[in-house]
Amino acid sequence: MIRITIDKELCKGCGLCVPFCPRGLIELGTEINAKGYHPAKISSPENCTGCSACAKMCPDLAIEIIKEG
């Protein structure tokens, strides 16, 4: 099982992760975090393959991929 988390307070909404998700699961959200940014969110976490491309592109280390089991 793959679990992906995006720390909404660390994310500055730069969008670098968005084009690197091969399944197109990441998008910038509409909510605003404490710093005034629109953090990224994953639309269908159950479809994540755990490739970690998004986490590798994140300059703020806001994305974590955990492979369980």
pLDDT for 14-41, tens place per residue?
A: 999 999 999 999 999 999 999 999 999 9
pLDDT value at residue 1? 87
Say whether pLDDT at 68 is over 90: no
C-alpha–C-alpha distance, residues 34 and 37, integer Å: 8
Share of the chain above pLDDT 70, in %: 100
pLDDT value at residue 40? 97
Using alpha carbons, list the distances in angstroms from residue 36 to 11, 19, 52, 58, 62: 10, 22, 26, 18, 16
Domains of the chain by start residue, with CATH: 2-67 (3.30.70.20)
Predicted model pTM: 0.90
